[in-house]
Amino acid sequence: MDADFVIIGSGSAGSVMAARLSEDAANSVIVLEFGGTDAGPFIQMPAALSYPMNMKRYDWGFASDPEPGLGGRTLATPRGKVVGGSSSINGMVYVRGHARDFDHWAESGAAGWGFADVLPYFKRMEDWHDGGHGGDASWRGKGGPLHVTRGPRKNPLFQAFVEAGAQAGFELTDDYNGEKQEGFGPMEQTVWKGRRWSTANAYLKPALKRDNIELVRCFARRVVIENGRAVGVEIERGGKIEVVRARREVIIAASSINSPKILMLSGIGPAAHLAEHGIEVVADRPGVGQNLQDHLELYIQQASTQPITLYKHWNLWGKAIAGAEWLFFKSGLGSSNQFESAAFIRSKPGVEYPDIQYHFLPIAVRYDGKAAAEGHGFQAHVGPMRSKSRGEITLTSADPKDAPRIFFNYMSHPDDWEDFRHCIRTTREIFGQAAFDPYRGKEIMPGSAAQSDEALDAHIREHAESAYHPCGTCKMGRADDPMAVVDPECRVIGVEGLRVADSSIFPRITNGNLNGPSIMVGEKASDHILGKAMLAPENAEPWINPRWQESDR
């Protein structure tokens, strides 16, 4: 088994590269994927999103180490083990990230990844549908593989949330993926004609119709490196270990958890750590597995005095009806992820661009679908976007079958606590606006008794949840940066013929959900791999609040 390019992982970036590299019939591509098929209603039906990320069949089942900042809790760390990777089990929320996030990447050593450089790639990948709700067409893409849509926002609570934001003095925005991220407005989703529009649906399945690409179901153990060059991937399938040879390059797109793990098992990583596990060092890269970042969030829940929330469907009969309507017509409640209103705001004066994100949901429920609050309610998921806390991924052993050690080190920076308390109090202020007067019942979570800093801190320690946005563990930077793992062309520093391209290369976490930027990385990396000229930069200036130095709104 051999090909020009061997890609480890069929996820958000891997599927994109598989499709782009195989566009030229002269290139042969093999994609290695451990997970199984993404067929089936749990993945394809958007409203069922809480199921696949909690199913062993579709999820790697990772968990963090006990987190001291969260009272020793161990947090689930789902990653997609299925065709389409995490784009097949995620919440389908589509956020590019703020223009300044990418400018920061460029300033920190990822030359050529500023906003002007990445905007054309966001446009190339998108097929944007505003659904007649306005938006910023000149900033958006048409005709790309990735359909981006907006929910119907029929529930009056979606509008109440946006109105309340305005009443509290915050900005409104028609399109947070356009010129103006800051403000309250509609949320976008990777859903098309009622189906989850994963990178498997958008990129990989159409590409697999070509003769020059093959999807191989196997477990990737490590990269085979000879004389400083990656020449293939050692895989296991059907109980046998074999090598898939790469004539040109091996590309790792295995997630911010598995990509550093595979690098370390291949001898690329912190030399002392590799030696502890008896792994021969090929390239001493101390940054492999370091710089782990994530978004934490809280669910602020409020009872609803009117029976208009999704709770009325939160029973076997309601779920059966929604499921049937989706199965036969790809319409109804099942056809949306229910995240249809959003906001990006700034936490305080002196913060140049948003650092808090809201997802609004017209039901009070947990991500894992286990606990719907008794009766009708609504909730906002809220959390700070740019925590200064950093964690790490390390090996537990030299056995590829063993899960790595995942330590996020959440809430380890004192600013995190101040930021989160601010998030809770601001959400209460928003829920307290006149727009919610017709609906507002008692506060369910944290509950009105929790007012002091100490009480809020206790609530955060007990209830903060991951937004499932791990990234940063194979940081992109200058070739002379000792903590960089890949250079600005995604080449692993110190090894020939090997690249990493997925969310692990983010120097710093972006604003909002990470699926959009992960797909963009796959798009741009494809041009680097093929040695093509980059798309021409676009100098579009983002909207920055003229009051940013004086006010948070």
440 and 301, same domain (yes or no): yes
| pTM for this entry | 0.97
Could you tell me if residue 38 is inside a domain?
Answer: yes
19 and 114, same domain (yes or no): yes
Q: What DSSP state is assigned to residue 90?
A: S
- Predicted confidence (pLDDT) at residue 218 exceeds the cutoff of 90: yes
CB count within 10 Å of CB 352 equals 12
- Is 90 assigned to a binding site? yes
User: Domain holding 528: CATH number?
Assistant: 3.50.50.60
- Residue 25's identity, in one-letter code, is A
- CA angle, corner 519, sides to 104 and 17, nearest 5? 120
Could you tell me if residue 81 is inside a domain?
Answer: yes
The Cα 192–Cα 45 span in angstroms is: 11
The Cα 444–Cα 531 span in angstroms is: 55
pLDDT at 483: 98
269 and 171, same domain (yes or no): no
Task: Provide the pLDDT confidence category of residue 162 given band limits of 50, 70 and 90.
Answer: very high
271 and 245, same domain (yes or no): yes
pLDDT at 33: 98
How far, in Å, are 89, 248, 358, 507, 524 from residue 85 at the CA level? 7, 24, 25, 21, 19
- Is 258 assigned to a binding site? no
Residue 256, H or E segment: helix 255-265
Compute the mean pLDDT over every residue in the chain, rounded to the nearest whole number: 96
Q: Which of 117-121, 195-199, 259-263, 372-376 has the lowest mean pLDDT?
A: 372-376
**Catalytic residue (one of 133, 313, 469, 528):** 469
CB count within 10 Å of CB 125 equals 23
Could you tell me if residue 338 is inside a domain?
Answer: yes
Nearest Cα to Cα of residue 373 among 461, 311, 464, 316: 311
pLDDT at 373: 62
477 and 457, same domain (yes or no): no
Could you tell me if residue 399 is inside a domain?
Answer: no
Surface-to-core class of residue 339, CB atoms within 10 Å of its CB (0-12 exposed, 13-18 middle, 19+ buried): buried
Could you tell me if residue 221 is inside a domain?
Answer: yes
536 and 492, same domain (yes or no): yes
Domain that holds residue 102: 1-69+76-147+192-288+471-543
Surface-to-core class of residue 242, CB atoms within 10 Å of its CB (0-12 exposed, 13-18 middle, 19+ buried): middle
The CA-based diameter of the chain, rounded to the nearest angstrom, is 70
- Predicted confidence (pLDDT) at residue 366 exceeds the cutoff of 70: no
110 and 26, same domain (yes or no): yes
Nearest Cα to Cα of residue 203 among 57, 49, 21: 21
CB contact set of 487 (below 8 Å; sequence gap of 6+): 476, 477, 478, 479, 493
Q: What is the 3-state secondary structure (H, E, C) of 101-148?
A: HHHHHHHCCCCCCCHHHHHHHHHHHEEECCCCCCCCHHHCCCCCCEEE
Query: Which pair of structure tokens corresponds to residue 22?
Result: 């195989």
pLDDT at 219: 98
219 and 306, same domain (yes or no): no
pLDDT at 131: 72
Could you tell me if residue 479 is inside a domain?
Answer: yes
- Predicted confidence (pLDDT) at residue 374 exceeds the cutoff of 80: no
459 and 361, same domain (yes or no): yes
18 and 166, same domain (yes or no): no
Is-catalytic flag, 104? no
395, 429, 463 — which closes off a domain? 463
- Is 53 assigned to a binding site? no
Nearest Cα to Cα of residue 59 among 41, 46, 42: 42
- Is 91 assigned to a binding site? yes
User: Domain holding 325: CATH number?
Assistant: 3.30.410.40
Could you tell me if residue 95 is inside a domain?
Answer: yes
CB count within 10 Å of CB 13 equals 36
pLDDT at 369: 58
Per-residue model confidence as pLDDT tens digits over 264-294: 999 999 999 999 999 999 999 999 999 999 9
463, 492, 526 — which closes off a domain? 463
pLDDT at 371: 55
Could you tell me if residue 236 is inside a domain?
Answer: yes
**Rg (Cα) of the chain, in Å, rounded?**
23
Domain total for the chain? Answer: 2
- Is 445 assigned to a binding site? no
CB count within 10 Å of CB 243 equals 15
463, 485, 506 — which closes off a domain? 463
- Predicted confidence (pLDDT) at residue 365 exceeds the cutoff of 90: no
263 and 204, same domain (yes or no): yes
The Cα 61–Cα 56 span in angstroms is: 6
Per-residue model confidence as pLDDT tens digits over 391-417: 999 999 999 999 999 999 999 999 999
Sign of CA dihedral 335, 337, 338, 343: negative
The Cα 182–Cα 345 span in angstroms is: 6
The Cα 101–Cα 113 span in angstroms is: 10
pLDDT at 132: 72
Q: Are strands 405-407 and 392-394 parallel, antiparallel or unpaired?
A: antiparallel
448 and 481, same domain (yes or no): no
What backbone phi and psi angles, to 5 degrees, belong to 40? 120, 145
pLDDT at 319: 87
What backbone phi and psi angles, to 5 degrees, belong to 58? -115, -5
The Cα 361–Cα 379 span in angstroms is: 5
The Cα 221–Cα 243 span in angstroms is: 10
The Cα 249–Cα 224 span in angstroms is: 11
What backbone phi and psi angles, to 5 degrees, belong to 422? -60, -40
